[in-house]
Amino acid sequence: MKVFDFDNTLYHGESSIDLAFYLIRRNKRILLYVPSILINLAKYKMCLVDREKAEQEINDFLKVAVKDKYEAAEIVESFWDENSYRLDENMIKRVRKDDVIITAGPDMLIDGIKDKLGTDNIISSIIDPDKREMVYFNFGENKAKRYKEVYGDTPIESFYTDSFNDKPLMKLATKVYIVEKGRLKRMTEKGMAKL
Per-residue model confidence (pLDDT) at position 58: 79
127 CB-near residues (< 8 Å, 6+ apart)? 62, 72, 106, 107, 108, 133, 134, 135
Tens digit of pLDDT for each residue in 76-95? 999 999 999 999 999 999 99
User: 68 burial class (0-12, 13-18, 19+ CB within 10 angstroms)?
Assistant: exposed
- DSSP SS3 for 177: strand
Question: What is d(CA 47, CA 13) in angstroms, rounded to the nearest whole number?
Answer: 16
Separation in Å, CA 177 to CA 23, 161, 166, 195: 32, 6, 12, 14
pLDDT at 30 over 80: no
Which whole number is the average pLDDT over 36-42? 72
Tens digit of pLDDT for each residue in 131-173? 888 899 998 899 999 999 999 999 999 999 998 889 999 999 9
Which whole number is the average pLDDT over 29-44? 72
Total domains in the chain come to 1
Strand order in the sheet with 156-161: 133-136, 122-128, 100-106, 2-4, 156-161, 173-180, 183-186
* Structural domain range at position 75: 2-193
Comparing C-alpha atoms, which of 59, 58, 66 is closest to residue 41?
A: 58
- DSSP SS3 for 8: coil
Per-residue model confidence (pLDDT) at position 195: 64
Task: Read off the CATH number of the domain in which 33 is found.
Answer: 3.40.50.1000
CB 49 within 8 A of CB 40: yes
